[in-house]
Amino acid sequence: MDADFWQKRWHDGQIGFHQDRATPLLEAHWNAAEVPSGGRVFVPLAGKSLDMLWLAARGHRVLGVELSPLAVEQFFVENRLTPSISESRYGRHYVAGAIELILGDAFALDAETLADCVGVFDRAALIALPASMRRRYAANLYSKLPDGCRGLLITLEYPQYEKAGPPFSVVEAEVRALFERDWRIEPLERKDIIDTQIAFREEGVTALTTAAYRLERWNTRQVSERG
């Protein structure tokens, strides 16, 4: 599953993962994440998510990264925003108000780019990736976020053999295996949503749960003490 896969999804309009409103679990649990007011929030694999507008409306500065030019263009056009545009080694930067969206590869970002991100919101990034890429994603991208960074992770759980992702099923045991060494993990909510997800049912999925986790990155000393 490479960049061409996602470019084709956007080109063909196969973007069932896009929501026409802010994520309800974000609205319900963002305060629990305790991200400092006005702090910068990282939104990986952002697409044209309205969650970025929701976060900006609550006083945060937002840094998103997305590899599809169509997604980036649609985000600004559909929300009637006129961005300033610049280039860097990370890609093309679109900035409008408190929102900066980088057209580029999330895996190419470094710790310097993410150094002032005190928060992270991940709704459709981790679950968009197959297992091998999830390991790389957690090890190489989340590790670049600074000590003390806090955020909210949203996942889906279903019998993986019943459906070919994306989105993929990511159970709590995997969340802990991926993040627990460097992040404090606190489950916030689990909810059965199969009755509301017609597309999943039509594909033969018999059970579907969404889960929300609060994340907080340990500092370097704490990681050493934990072994």
- The answer to whether the annotation marks 123 as part of a ligand binding site is yes
- The answer to whether the annotation marks 10 as part of a ligand binding site is yes
Give residue 117's identity as a one-letter amino acid code: C
- The answer to whether the annotation marks 145 as part of a ligand binding site is no
Q: What b-and-e string marks burial along 82-94, b requiring 16 or more CB atoms within 10 Å of the CB?
A: ebeeeeeebbebb
108: which residues sit within 8 A by CB, 6+ positions away? 90, 91
Residue 38, SS3 per DSSP: coil
Helix intervals (H) in 64-196? 69-78, 111-114, 131-140, 172-179
Strand partners, 42: 63, 120
- The answer to whether the annotation marks 66 as part of a ligand binding site is yes
Chain centroid to CA 111: 17
Query: Can you say which residues are annotated as belonging to the binding site for S-adenosyl-L-methionine?
Result: 10, 45, 66, 123
